[in-house]
Amino acid sequence: MLNLVLFGPPGAGKGTQAEYLIESFGLNHISTGDLLRSEIAGKTDLGLEAKKFMDKGELVPDAVVIGMIKSKLDSNKDAKGFIFDGFPRTVDQAKALDELLNNNGTPVSGMLSLEVEKQELIDRLMLRGKSSGRADDQDQSIIENRINVYNEKTLPLIEYYRPQNKHFGINGMGSIEDIAGRLKAVVSKL
Ligand code: B4P
């Protein structure tokens, strides 16, 4: 079983590259961002609560996203493996994921960390903001807050996975196809 953590700052291309990995390796895709946005679209209590954090570029509380992951894993027990996109984003989320996967005897295989320059992240997200309707993509100060939150709370995860020899840094600059090729080369060896 292949369990991949697709990692990187906002705008690094996680959602974009997940599509290629699903196609190449036949894995189930779990994006906490997509799950939260579908809760918002459905106007559920969880969605309304999450929206307050997301619109400001803050992280949604750990308990909420961990609960969503648990129910996705429980309802996909026959999967060949998973791509976790945008999760974990804190060390506590990473520990919770390890616990959930270890219960199934299928640990994280690798953390694929997309590396992209800050100005490129801002440019990509501002461009998406013109058509996505996402409040968190429309304002440069909110985008910068998301990048700051990433640096403070999410980047330390590299030091969680590196000692386990599971961290793989990947150049996330250039064309979508070139980056997909780099990712595929790493995943093929896992
Ligand atoms: P996410 O949905 O994960 O949003 P994101 O970090 O912006 O990444 P996304 O996957 O959407 O963008 P991508 O890099 O693919 O999270 C949104 C919010 O939800 C968070 O801020 C937080 O509030 C909450 N949340 C989600 N998960 C959470 C968790 N685990 N814990 C707590 N809170 C959580 O792509 C960006 C753009 O770049 C796209 O328009 C794409 O077309 C473009 N692009 C991609 N690759 C490119 C390339 N090579 N060249 C040019 N453009 C490219």
- Residues linked to residue 170 through DSSP beta bridges, in sequence order: 114
Global pTM reads 0.94
Beta-strand pair 167-171/110-115: parallel
Q: Check pocket membership of 54 for ligand 1, CB cut-off 6 A.
A: yes
Mean pLDDT, the chain, rounded, equals 95
Pocket test for ligand 1, best of 5, 6, 7, 14 (most atoms within 8 A of CB): 14
pLDDT (tens digit, 9 = 90+) per residue, 32-63?
A: 999 999 999 999 999 999 999 999 999 999 99
pLDDT (tens digit, 9 = 90+) per residue, 139-184?
A: 999 999 999 999 999 999 999 999 999 999 999 999 999 999 999 9
pLDDT of residue 135: 86
Q: Check pocket membership of 51 for ligand 1, CB cut-off 6 A.
A: no
DSSP assignment string, 59-118: PPPHHHHHHHHHHHHHTTTT-SEEEEES---SHHHHHHHHHHHHHTT----EEEEEE--H
pLDDT for 30 beyond 90: yes
ω into 107 cis (within 30 of 0) = no
- Ligand 1: which atom is nearest the Cα of residue 132? 40
